Chains A and B, each alone.
Chain A
Amino acid sequence: MRKGLFILLALLATVEIQAQSVAEIARTKPQIKLSILPMFHLDNAFMLGAEIPMGNGRFSLQPEFGYGPAQSNLWYEWWFHDSYPDKTTIRTKLQFRSYFKEGSVFRGYYGAEYSYLQSDFNQDHSYMDNGLPVVINPLELRRTSHAVHGIMGWQGYFSNRLTIDFQFGFGLKATENRSLTPGIPQDELDKIKLDERKWLGRSLSLGQYGPFPSFMTAISIGFVLGKVN
């Protein structure tokens, strides 16, 4: 009895706990990402991405792609607005991360990202040219925006499969609203407004804006791929 107790104590004191933490499991494995906030943006998109670890999990690269029609836009639902514009949005993003802190259920990182947004509008426009009505149907308009942000973020682990990311960033964004339909005189181009709601001081007129400072936040849910014991 006494002997057994001593052996047990000695074992308890010497043997390290070998279990892997969820952060260690996720570190070297790729993840599928679903970005939450773009679904609630005026430029709505269902955005999926993948986080690809590099350098034994010290760094990672995360490309994301999103697509969204205005039909599924929250801000044009009936309780806000009675109709929606003919608009589709494409978003892409490429994020580089460097993890600087690892706990047992979270990891902290900083990094940089480039993001691109493109919204295509089809709407009508008519004007008088030398007393004759000119109707452009459809008038094709496009907003493109390029942004670069430095980011800080935090990745938490619900289980060894499910993760969540919170991040924020500050950087620069340049936007251009332009017409894809050729042959419209300049004074008519100046009158064209994008058929869209106002959103955070964004311009609805055609033109180039920026680069201006920009703030971004992102929340994404991740699913760890690969073999997990």
Chain B
Amino acid sequence: MRNFYSFVYVLLFVSLVFFTTPVKSQTLLEQNRDHVVLKWAPLSLFEYYNTFLLGVEIPFRNPRFTFQQELGYGHASMSIWFTEDEARPNRHVVRSNSQFRFYIKEWKSFRLFTAAEYFLRRSRTYAIEFDPHDCEGGCADYSGAPYDTERIVNALHLKFGFQAWLSRRISLEVYTGYGYRTIKSQSLTPGVSPLWWDIPQASLREPLPSFAPGFQIGLLLGK
């Protein structure tokens, strides 16, 4: 009988060792925060100036400071903001977001950040033609006179958001940004100045207030 009791005690001890989760030496965030993270912002596909936007977040030696660079490219043929009847312009968009981040507060797999961001977007539209169906007389002068234009947006944002690690490699970030932007339109065709409908904000006082919310999915790179 004594043998049996000692057997039960050993069994209890072994099961305690196996079924009690060991205290982790490192949290998920501590494992991940000195790695480079690949970022994707899905919402930028659905903007009027649609882009496929990818970025990398690179931590500094002190991982509470990071630098994030995003680059995006898109064409108007992939914009969701045109109807089937509309002619799509030949418009190429290139954009860049450069961010310097500071993580204010950190938990086990979650942290809050604030960031300063510089945003640049250049969209070039080639060979706009006046649609002669839209006007009666007078428009004939414009039709068949293609010209190329460029629209440049510069903005500075102060961003707030959080980064949450959903699994070992996948993170989710949600943020909002507030700041100012300037918009400039110019002609790429020599001797032709951009027409008034290409400079929608020309009469407004600049810089304009700017609001940039969004979310990103991150993939941890490296081992």
* A interface residues (Cβ-Cβ under 8 A, vs B): 3, 6-7, 9-10, 13-14, 170, 175, 201-203, 205, 209-210, 212-215
Query: Within the assembled complex, what's the spacing in Å between the Cα atoms of A9 and B14?
Result: 13
8 further interface pairs, Cβ-Cβ under 8 Å (given A201-B83, A203-B83, A203-B85): A10-B11, A10-B12, A201-B84, A212-B77, A212-B80, A212-B82, A213-B45, A213-B79
Chain B interface main SS type: helix
User: In this assembly, does B135 line the interface, its C-beta being within 8 Å of a C-beta of chain A?
Assistant: no
B16 and A13: CB pair below 8 A?
yes
Q: What are the 9 tightest A-B residue pairs by CB atom distance, in nearest-first order?
A: A201-B83, A13-B15, A203-B84, A209-B84, A203-B85, A6-B8, A10-B11, A213-B78, A14-B15
B52-89 interface bits toward A, Cβ cutoff 8 Å, 1 = contact, 0 = none: 00000000000000000000000001111011111000
If A6-B8, A213-B78, A213-B79 touch, whether A13 touches B19 (CB-CB below 8 Å) is yes
Count of chain B residues near A, Cβ 8 A: 19
Kindly list chain B residues whose C-beta atoms are within 8 Å of the C-beta of A3. 5
B91-112 interface bits toward A, Cβ cutoff 8 Å, 1 = contact, 0 = none: 0000000000000000000000
Query: Within the assembled complex, what's the spacing in Å between the Cα atoms of A213 and B82?
Result: 10
Query: Within the assembled complex, what's the spacing in Å between the Cα atoms of A214 and B46?
Result: 10
Query: Within the assembled complex, what's the spacing in Å between the Cα atoms of A64 and B170?
Result: 32
Partner of B12, one of A13, A213, A214, A215: A13
B85 and A9: CB pair below 8 A?
no
B16 and A170: CB pair below 8 A?
no
A175 and B84: CB pair below 8 A?
yes
Partner of B80, one of A9, A10, A14, A215: A215
Selected A-B contacts with CB under 8 Å, 11 pairs:
A6-B8, A10-B8, A10-B11, A10-B12, A13-B19, A14-B15, A201-B84, A203-B84, A203-B85, A212-B80, A215-B80
Q: Whose C-beta in chain A lies nearest to the C-beta of B42?
A: A170
Partner of A205, one of B50, B78, B85: B85
Q: How far in angstroms is the closest Cβ of chain A from B23?
A: 19
Kindly list chain A residues whose C-beta atoms are within 8 Å of the C-beta of B79. 213
Task: State which residues 176-222 of B face A: CB under 8 Å.
Answer: none
Query: Within the assembled complex, what's the spacing in Å between the Cα atoms of A221 and B78?
Result: 32
A202 and B12: CB pair below 8 A?
no
Kindly list chain B residues whose C-beta atoms are within 8 Å of the C-beta of A213. 45, 50, 78-80
Kindly list chain A residues whose C-beta atoms are within 8 Å of the C-beta of B78. 213
Partner of B11, one of A14, A203, A209, A212: A14
Kindly list chain B residues whose C-beta atoms are within 8 Å of the C-beta of A13. 11-12, 15-16, 19
Q: How far in angstroms is the closest Cβ of chain B from A200?
A: 8
Q: How far in angstroms is the closest Cβ of chain B from A223?
A: 31
Query: Within the assembled complex, what's the spacing in Å between the Cα atoms of A3 and B4?
Result: 10
Query: Within the assembled complex, what's the spacing in Å between the Cα atoms of A205 and B45?
Result: 28
Q: How far in angstroms is the closest Cβ of chain B from A167?
A: 15
Q: Whose C-beta in chain A lies nearest to the C-beta of B45?
A: A170
Kindly list chain A residues whose C-beta atoms are within 8 Å of the C-beta of B86. 201
A9 and B12: CB pair below 8 A?
yes
Query: Within the assembled complex, what's the spacing in Å between the Cα atoms of A203 and B82?
Result: 11
Kindly list chain A residues whose C-beta atoms are within 8 Å of the C-beta of B15. 10, 13-14
Query: Within the assembled complex, what's the spacing in Å between the Cα atoms of A210 and B11?
Result: 69
Q: How far in angstroms is the closest Cβ of chain A from B164?
A: 16
Query: Within the assembled complex, what's the spacing in Å between the Cα atoms of A10 and B5?
Result: 11
A202 and B45: CB pair below 8 A?
no
Query: Within the assembled complex, what's the spacing in Å between the Cα atoms of A205 and B133?
Result: 16
Q: Whose C-beta in chain B lies nearest to the C-beta of A177?
A: B84
Query: Within the assembled complex, what's the spacing in Å between the Cα atoms of A170 and B45?
Result: 10
A202 and B16: CB pair below 8 A?
no
A202 and B84: CB pair below 8 A?
yes
Task: State which residues 6-51 of B face A: CB under 8 Å.
Answer: 8, 11-12, 15-16, 19, 45-46, 50
Q: How far in angstroms is the closest Cβ of chain B from A203?
A: 4
Query: Within the assembled complex, what's the spacing in Å between the Cα atoms of A45 and B86?
Result: 28
Query: Within the assembled complex, what's the spacing in Å between the Cα atoms of A205 and B84?
Result: 10
A210 and B84: CB pair below 8 A?
yes
Q: How far in angstroms is the closest Cβ of chain B from A118?
A: 17
Q: How far in angstroms is the closest Cβ of chain A from B166?
A: 10
